């Protein structure tokens, strides 16, 4: 069956974005707040300033990195029937929203911070929803130890669903602990590398900056064979150029720089090109999910990923992101744009169950979004 897909860049424009990306990496460079990460980039031929904690990535290194990246991704699950492989021929694999900090309180009509028990409830529900292919830890466990939120949320999620879990880590130590937890479930680290039942999202700080804990976690995951999703979250006119072209170039540069760190750590480390970029709400500075700009940037990012032959995760789906309680708040125009992001050339997407620009989540919203997503796809 034919699949509706959107692309906005011509072949010449793809080459233009690539050329401007190389110019950014060679002349502007990236901030890397880790001596270990600077070391691996230096071995690949990057120019390093250790005092400034900055790296400039030449075109030949970028080309070498693209050659080393696996052109397929396999995200496995505790239940092998729910394994996912990319590139994806049909609509994207869909996940929940991630790490919301509150949920509606049915007792008083207000809202309350989320706890570990809430995350378990969400994961049990998500495990039963056919429309969801994989999950993010959809809410934050505020009662988890302060320095190991991501580890606690990954462990709770892996206990509560048989689907693939996509989390994060904020330090090298936390990354090692997450690998140890997942390895204990599948048998050992060699088995985990062959069947990664979890993957991670690691976000650069836009524009063009890699924080120490996150980038050292990337290196740990690369060494262990855990897929890393390098999610650029540029906001055009706020943390990236106001022009769509400039924002797309920054998104592309952040992804290639992240890939360089992964591939110089371990050639062939699994990675996924990612972008969750949009226009901001200029009154509040918040990201504006469902904006027209999000569709255009997502489509371009997915095309750039295809250009490099890399699996991608861009855009998302959800109709509650404008409200603070369950329901359908998306205006008709925004709903069209939300649906259109799922028609880009992406392999993976997310957003189910989210409220209030991803700050909140609701069990009911998971059901509403899943029902609508099944109709859309």
Which residue ranges form the domains of the chain, and what is each CATH number?
11-376 (3.20.20.480)
β-pairing, 30-32 with 54-56? antiparallel
Is residue 2's pLDDT more than 70? no
Q: What is the pLDDT of residue 335?
A: 75
Averaged pLDDT for residues 10-36: 98
- CA nearest neighbour of 289 among 324, 252, 316: 316
Confidence of residue 180 (pLDDT cuts 50, 70, 90): very high
State residue 1's pLDDT score: 59
User: What value does the mean pLDDT take over residues 306-328?
Assistant: 89
The pLDDT confidence band at residue 96, using thresholds 50, 70 and 90, is very high
Q: What is the pLDDT of residue 109?
A: 83
Those residues whose C-beta lies under 8 Å from the C-beta of residue 91, and which sit 6 or more positions away, are 3, 342, 376, 377
Say whether pLDDT at 362 is over 90: yes
Tell me, what's the pLDDT at 318?
83
Is the distance from CB of 327 to CB of 294 less than 8 angstroms?
no
Read off the pLDDT of residues 223-234 as tens digits, 9 standing for 90 and up.
999 999 999 999
In the three-class reduction of DSSP (H, G, I as helix; E, B as strand; rest coil), residue 334 is classed as: helix
How do residues 107-132 score in pLDDT, each as one tens digit?
A: 888 999 999 999 999 999 999 999 99
List strand residue ranges (DSSP E) for 37-91, in order. Answer: 47-49, 54-56, 73-75, 84-86
> Higher-confidence residue: 324 or 253?
253
Enumerate residues 6+ apart whose C-beta is below 8 A from 136. 95, 96, 97, 98, 99, 165, 166, 167, 201, 350
Average pLDDT for residues 175-187, to the nearest whole number? 97
CA dist 64 and 294 (Å) reads: 30
């Amino acid at each position: 069956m034919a699949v509706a897909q959107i692309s906005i860049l011509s072949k010449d424009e793809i080459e233009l974005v690539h050329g401007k990306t190389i110019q950014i990496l060679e002349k502007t460079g990236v901030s890397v707040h880790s001596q270990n990460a600077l070391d691996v980039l230096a071995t690949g031929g990057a120019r390093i300033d250790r005092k400034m904690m900055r790296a400039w990535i030449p075109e030949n290194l970028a080309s070498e990195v693209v050659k080393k990246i696996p052109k397929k991704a396999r995200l496995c699950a505790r239940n092998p029937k729910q394994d996912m492989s990319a590139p994806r021929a049909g609509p994207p694999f869909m996940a929940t929203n991630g790490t919301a900090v509150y949920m509606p309180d049915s007792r008083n009509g207000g809202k309350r911070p989320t706890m570990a028990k809430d995350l378990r409830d969400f994961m049990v529900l998500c495990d039963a929803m056919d429309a969801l292919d994989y999950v993010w830890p959809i809410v934050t466990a505020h009662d988890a130890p302060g320095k190991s939120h991501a580890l606690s949320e990954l462990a709770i999620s892996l206990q509560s669903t048989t689907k693939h879990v996509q989390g994060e880590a904020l330090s090298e130590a936390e990354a090692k602990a997450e690998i140890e937890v997942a390895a204990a479930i599948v048998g050992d680290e060699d088995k985990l590398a062959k069947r990664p039942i979890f993957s991670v999202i690691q976000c650069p700080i836009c524009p063009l900056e890699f924080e120490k804990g996150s980038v050292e976690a990337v290196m740990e995951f690369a060494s262990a064979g855990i897929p890393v999703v390098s999610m650029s979250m540029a906001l055009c006119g706020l943390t990236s150029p106001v022009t769509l072209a400039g924002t797309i170039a920054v998104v592309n540069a952040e992804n290639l720089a992240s890939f360089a760190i992964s591939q110089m750590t371990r050639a062939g480390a699994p990675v996924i090109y990612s972008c969750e970029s949009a226009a901001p709400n200029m009154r509040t500075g918040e990201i504006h999910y469902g904006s027209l700009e999000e569709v255009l940037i997502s489509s371009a990012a997915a095309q750039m990923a295809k250009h490099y032959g890399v699996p991608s995760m861009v855009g998302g789906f959800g109709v509650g992101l404008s409200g603070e309680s369950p329901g359908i708040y998306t205006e008709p125009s925004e709903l069209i744009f939300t649906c259109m992001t799922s028609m880009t050339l992406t392999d993976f997407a997310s957003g189910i169950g989210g409220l209030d620009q991803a700050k909140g989540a609701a069990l009911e919203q998971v059901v509403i979004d899943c029902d609508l997503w099944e109709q859309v796809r």
